[in-house]
Amino acid sequence: MKILVTGATGNVGRMVVDELLARGATDVRALTNDPAKAQLPPGVEVARGFLGRLETLPDALAGVEKMYLAPHPATVFEVCRLAADAGVRQIVDMAGAKGGTWQVIEDGVEASGVAYTHLEPGEFMANSELWSAQIAAGDVVRDAYGDVVNAPIAQEDIAAVAAEVLLSDRHAGRSYELTGPEALSRRQMVAAIGRALGRDLTYVELTGSEARAHFESIMGEYGEWYLDGLAQLADHPQAAVSTVADLLGRPAMAYEEWARRHADLFR
């Protein structure tokens, strides 16, 4: 069974390749613009291309039975139609919470008529990289909505779930909300990074125009969108769900562990 991993040099796609191999998959094709950058493991077939360059896809999709679909909203309808034409029989997509920013991915997949499994992660633990410049520079983290809670997920777990689902036929038509194992406030996440670094970090709460200016300075045009998301979380905190553990038979990675593994991001 040939499996195409799109976005195969991305943070998630690259780990999907590794997780498939670790589970014994022997016919993995990886889609990338730049095979040299990808440094894919031996035995993985490389297709040169990108979800945004539709002309590259018919060759990449030839003979493929299942596909991991990285999130590229601009062409998702066309990509999934091409997958259907090529005879792909299951698409496992990474989208997000239903009705949110990534809904268009699920819409494009479903419009193709191909059997699907939607992976719906919330915030990634890796989004904490937002704090990396401040933490590298000193012990103070200026941020906003320090007490709102959500249950961010490690990208490692999204990739493991994607591989598990790709290698089984039991998940067709299912949507899986994916979170980490616990809901944490932003103050608690900063403290966990501090513990991983052996440092005592001070969280400084920003509000109003100060918060807007800060997020715009670090995220540009997405600053306001991100702050709006935090404001919504204040009204609707995100609880942890057990999907990752249910699907993988082991606990999802805790934030504390993620911070230890990725401490170099903050040094």
Residues that bind ligand NAP (CB under 6 A): 7, 9-13, 32-34, 37-38, 50, 52, 70-71, 94, 96, 102, 121-124, 127
Q: From CA 237, how far away is CA 264, in angstroms rounded?
A: 29
Neighbouring C-beta atoms of residue 244, cutoff 10 Å: 27
Q: How far is the CB of 67 from ligand NAP (least distance, A)?
A: 14
Q: How far is the CB of 41 from ligand NAP (least distance, A)?
A: 15
Q: What distances in angstroms separate CA 189 from CA 126, 128, 143, one per listed residue? A: 11, 8, 12
> Looking at beta carbons only, is 71 or 202 nearer to ligand NAP?
71
> Looking at beta carbons only, is 121 or 194 nearer to ligand NAP?
121
Rg of the Cα trace of the chain? 19
Q: How far is the CB of 199 from ligand NAP (least distance, A)?
A: 26
Residue nearest to ligand NAP (CB): 10
> Looking at beta carbons only, is 11 or 195 nearer to ligand NAP?
11
Q: How far is the CB of 125 from ligand NAP (least distance, A)?
A: 9
DSSP states along 23-72: TT---EEEEES-HHHH-PPTT-EEEE-BTTBGGGHHHHHTT-SEEEE---
Angle at the Cα of 160 from the Cα atoms of 246 and 15, rounded to 5 degrees: 165
> Looking at beta carbons only, is 70 or 91 nearer to ligand NAP?
70
